Structure 1
């Protein structure tokens, strides 16, 4: 069923949507053109690595080197393994809609989107934040406390290991720590997207957008600090870059590292692709190092719609011990369906509730929690229904301005990539209240305060669905 849906999405052109299909790796043993591989320093002494082998990343904290050159030059049968391609989890199985790329004050947005034309604010389109009663999202009917009445994440630090974060967006300008941010790819640019797309910018907005102009979007932890660690460029990312970024984030004192990436179908069967086991072991080392440093690693569960407990399936890095896996949920019918009243912003008259599993999400025992990642009525999308993409997640985006800069805006994406930063932002809220809490304590709070995982049950929701109000109340 899910593969048929992805086939449908390849032809979507309605409502300005584009179907983003990631390119598959050119070889099952990594990218031979790059000559990249990992060196296991538990199998070979560093002194025995020849000078002609270029060390791309020194990750000796976990006894690994990411290198380039001839792996045969390194002594030891088990000392090297291919450094294979890794993909963003936000592209592929789900549509996205950038909407009109508006100036931040939204001058010029009118005429391009039904909700904006009707005068709805960006905050009113953030069903994911409204469902969590995050803050003052323009329609507080009473004086009940919101999450942000307790904490806004001040003092917490979140690493976004992704395609880069644009601090040219005003909703992120005060959130990004440029001094700690870094580029882990082999291109010559900095931590900003630089041709890698706005996936990481969208993720960062979900975590920590500040709604700087009052007409933007609001992140879960708007006073948290974002460290942008870029692992994608104009070409596919590499596992060694991601591993190095995780270790670096932990060393820089981050409270949580958000990963929205992985190895999609068909790269899930260890018998067919034995390098998956080596990749798993490398991630396990990185996760263990992070936990010792007090940093939780959060990853998106993946968008292949597969059972991760099935035989012949290993979904990485979600199934790595020590990684907190997040599945995606989303509504059907938020604001766009003619049967709903546009004035009804209480999320009560939806075809599917906001906690309903998204059609694309992976599921299984590796899921620790579910969170808002967006869903889609694919029939409505194919028919070009106005506003079908309101069920996706609205966040910060940028587009090239033609002169080497970017134009900031707001756009919709969906995927487990969009669900993971909901949890990473939640970790920032907890750490702002309990800065000395250990990783296990933070994980326990997330699980124990989650709402019942319905519909779908444990295999789709793990311990349950993220509940920020209960979480901050328990942490406080």
Structure 2
């Protein structure tokens, strides 16, 4: 097709999409789809089906299962069947077009976890065919989001350590007090979606899950790696040995959803599915019994985005606890980023050693509601953890990315004490046990809540205190269960 013909077709396509006589029956098309098509000639699309996953998840939650793995396996099969039955017309179209002499797209991928289909390099012609299908709710451009990277330059060397070489944040939240009681995260698997992990680091090599502990879309690399250091630092704080990690007895796994600091949506959704039901590094031999118990997410999209609601709902149905960075877009109010602004996740703000909220730490309330965010605050300034460029190196980083893994590690400690704790129980334990004394007043009344009101939209419920949460747990449980 020559340039003049392409322009004429594009104009006709826009007209057809704009002046459709049956508007209500046709999918919504995000305006950026048209802009990108005009500029680039093709666009990466996310197709959302009208049939949501809500009823499928509800049907799973209403049943009883012998094991956690059995429940997750049934959950995945139910979502797969739902996606298959509600997206047949889209798949038929894509199958037909992929076998034509001049395909109208490069490739596509189904996501059962959200009932969506990703289409790479879709053309105007394909878009015009897609919007005739009644099963589609929305056609939009694929999102590209970001890691919540350090808001200050990282530097090598020793940080301000706590006692006996324990990192200051690990000590401040009370983790060593639980180690003494024998709770180090043993029996718990922690996960992350991040830039990868330097898995041969001296503080991480001993507790890597191994098989079923690593996946890297789209290349299916066989061994964990990390080209930026973000994911290695995060995992070191969660589960590293040698005093840098909150839960050194936990096993860890990771999915590389953000290989270059940017996280494209189809990678993230692939990782959501891997976390829900892990595979080997080649994406084969699925085993849902190996799903982690809690997942660190130090990445975000703009505030108010609902892109990952369905995926997180699936995690909750699977018994996987989602923890997200609140973002580094402070100091103004209503800057907590998504999914950290969802009610279905635990979101975390960043503190300095003296109890001051980091200037960059995002604040609440949530953009589209009065929901108080973040939920908790945790150490996040000049945190010492594992470096990615050697097996024995360490580095300092700051940001909500560094605060969030302190909370994930704390949850792993609580789960090692009581493995059957639910998301709601964990969240409530952490909320009611926070430390508020010593947190610096900011004279900021975000959402009409001042610093003297708890929770507030600066610090949330306060600084995480895992030993205090354990004491609350003990007080509410018989000693025989711990």
Shorter-chain TM-score: which interval? 0.5 to 0.7
- Structure-2 change in CA distance of 1:455 and 1:169 (3 Å): same
Aligned: 1:408 with 2:416: no
Name the SS for the 1:61 alignment partner: coil
Aligned: 1:256 with 2:294: yes
Distance 1:167 1:243 in 2: 23
Post-superposition offset of 1:325: 0.8
- With 449-458 and 197-206 compared, the bigger mean Cα shift is at 449-458
Name the SS for the 1:442 alignment partner: helix
> Which of these residues, 149, 163, 171, is aligned with residue 90 of structure 1?
149
Identify the residue that residue 341 of structure 2 maps to in structure 1: 319
Post-superposition offset of 1:218: 3.2
Alpha-carbon contact 1:250-1:294 (below 8 Å) kept: no
Identify the residue that residue 155 of structure 1 maps to in structure 2: 187
Name the SS for the 1:360 alignment partner: coil
Distance 1:467 1:28 in 2: 48
Identify the residue that residue 346 of structure 1 maps to in structure 2: none
Distance 2:42 2:296 in 1: 26
Aligned: 1:227 with 2:253: yes
- Structure-2 change in CA distance of 1:164 and 1:325 (3 Å): same
> Which of these residues, 143, 158, 175, is aligned with residue 134 of structure 1?
175
Distance 1:261 1:188 in 2: 21
Identify the residue that residue 206 of structure 1 maps to in structure 2: 237
Identify the residue that residue 439 of structure 1 maps to in structure 2: 423
Aligned length: 357
Relative contact order, CA 8 A, sep 6+: which one is greater? 1
Identify the residue that residue 440 of structure 2 maps to in structure 1: 455
Alpha-carbon contact 1:162-1:200 (below 8 Å) kept: yes
Distance 2:180 2:108 in 1: 42
Name the SS for the 2:388 alignment partner: strand
Distance 1:32 1:185 in 2: 24
Distance 1:474 1:229 in 2: 33
TM-score by length of structure 2 reads 0.67
Aligned: 1:38 with 2:46: yes
> Which of these residues, 198, 210, 231, is aligned with residue 166 of structure 1?
198
Name the SS for the 1:257 alignment partner: strand
Q: Deviations over 1:91-118 (max 9, x none)?
A: 3x3221134xxxxxxxxxxxxx7x89xx
- Structure-2 change in CA distance of 1:416 and 1:285 (3 Å): same
Distance 1:78 1:314 in 2: 27
> Which of these residues, 91, 114, 117, is aligned with residue 65 of structure 1?
117
Distance 1:298 1:32 in 2: 36
Q: Please state which structure has a larger fraction of its residues in helix.
A: 2
Name the SS for the 2:253 alignment partner: strand
- Structure-2 change in CA distance of 1:29 and 1:286 (3 Å): farther
- With 62-71 and 458-467 compared, the bigger mean Cα shift is at 62-71
Post-superposition offset of 1:435: 1.2
- Structure-2 change in CA distance of 1:305 and 1:314 (3 Å): closer
Distance 1:187 1:28 in 2: 30
> Which of these residues, 389, 394, 403, is aligned with residue 384 of structure 2?
394
Name the SS for the 1:398 alignment partner: coil
Cα RMSD (Å)? 3.1
Q: Deviations over 1:167-223 (max 9, x none)?
A: 11021012221212333432453462353x111000000000022xxxxx4311111
- Structure-2 change in CA distance of 1:32 and 1:250 (3 Å): farther
Equivalent residues in 2 for 1:336-351, closer than 5 Å? none
Post-superposition offset of 1:124: 3.2
Name the SS for the 2:428 alignment partner: helix
Distance 2:429 2:234 in 1: 23
Alpha-carbon contact 1:160-1:257 (below 8 Å) kept: yes
Equivalent residues in 2 for 1:14-33, closer than 5 Å? none
Name the SS for the 2:200 alignment partner: coil
Post-superposition offset of 1:74: 3.2
Aligned: 1:180 with 2:226: no
Identify the residue that residue 465 of structure 2 maps to in structure 1: 467
> Which of these residues, 235, 240, 248, is aligned with residue 266 of structure 2?
240
Alpha-carbon contact 2:202-2:391 (below 8 Å) kept: no
